[in-house]
Amino acid sequence: MGPRVVVTDSVFPTLEPARQVLAQVRAELVVAERPEPAAVAELARDAEALMVTYMPITAELIRQLPRCRIIARFGIGVDNVDVAAATQAGIVVTNVPDYCIDEVSDHALALLLALARRLLPADRAVRAGVWSVSALTPIHRLRGRVLGLVGFGKIARALARKAQALGLEVLAYDPYLPPEAIEAQGARPVGFQELLERSDFISIHAPLTPETRHLFNEEAFDKIKPGAFLINTARGPIVDERALLRALESGRLAGAALDVLEQEPPPADAPLLRREDVLITPHIAFYSEESLVELQTKAAEEVVRVLQGQAPRNPVNPEVLSSSQPQSRR
């Protein structure tokens, strides 16, 4: 029998794309019935690979995986994986940073256009029997307005190109990129405060880290350009929703479009759900039929590489690969 690969949790209608890739190493693919630590630990005790979607992979769980060589995330962010604990254990963590680029950038642009053209309030007004332009004013021309991107990775760059085609000026804040890398994409590199002060639309594309958690807090909203719109297709906790609500109630923000929230799904009485100036979609920006196949395939290919003794293409903790630490745990 080949190596055991355990899927902790899955949102996919089928795991056949991953199964086909893993067949290269004759892997035994096992799916946990419940995404619970005890159940997964029991199932994965002899596993050489773990594949995870949303389940938290804690240090305690990692300690119970003596043979695990790779934790492969079905996704881009790895905030649900204790990467430090995995590194300490000599386990490489991988993600798939180059899938759903078209989908998320398209979704962010769709949210921007819906806010700019006030599509939801217009639809609601017509359904309520109100056929009026004055009920929807003001609406401003898009060309010449400013889009600020927080984070300038692959998705943000794709969005920048699409926004520039519509006549938007693009600013970008990314402290991990040299200014020339941003300028090469036709965007202007700026600091976070300048982005807040100048942008008519702000779209978030940063990972969730201790530094970005509640990056958009009361202090940030106090500096934001009056009448701006906020778009978030990254991670919900980057935005402090209480501070966001106050910015909307005060009129500082003209509206927000959120594909991600601090709590998913939100409680039925969440204040943001009652606001007509907030557009919310259920964390679907990543989704297309094609992106699901791409995601599974690329995540499984990383598992195959590691099980064959090769380096993965997208290690989150590459220091594990060059570590001289003894591999007695495997």
Q: Which of 146, 67, 111, 62 is nearest to 306 (CA)?
A: 67
Spatial distance between the Cα atoms of 109 and 115, rounded to a whole number of angstroms: 10
Q: Which of 195, 147, 189 is nearest to 170 (CA)?
A: 147
235 catalytic residue (yes or no): yes
Q: Is 14 left (phi over 0), alpha (psi -120 to 50) or beta?
A: beta
Q: What are the structure tokens assigned to 224, written together?
A: 């934001």
Question: Is the Cβ–Cβ distance between 235 and 207 less than 8 Å?
Answer: yes
Q: Which of 297, 306, 298, 294 is nearest to 3 (CA)?
A: 306
Q: Which of 4, 157, 283, 305 is catalytic?
A: 283
Question: Is the Cβ–Cβ distance between 257 and 230 less than 8 Å?
Answer: yes
Peptide bond just before 237 cis, omega within 30 deg: no
Q: Which of 194, 220, 232, 195 is nearest to 115 (CA)?
A: 232
Classify burial at 95, counting beta carbons within 10 Å of its beta carbon; exposed 0-12, middle 13-18, buried 19 or more: buried
CB atoms within 10 A of CB 121: 17
Question: Is the Cβ–Cβ distance between 195 and 202 less than 8 Å?
Answer: yes
Beta bridge partners of 51: 7, 72
Q: Which of 16, 42, 264, 276 is catalytic?
A: 264
Q: Which of 107, 235, 301, 305 is catalytic?
A: 235
Give SS3 for 295: helix
264 catalytic residue (yes or no): yes
Beta bridge partners of 149: 172, 203
CA 239, 35, 95, 29: dihedral to nearest 10 degrees? -160
157 catalytic residue (yes or no): no
Q: What are the structure tokens assigned to 121, written together?
A: 């309030």
What is the DSSP secondary structure assignment for residue 216, as one 8-state letter?
B
Residues taking part in catalysis? 235, 264, 283
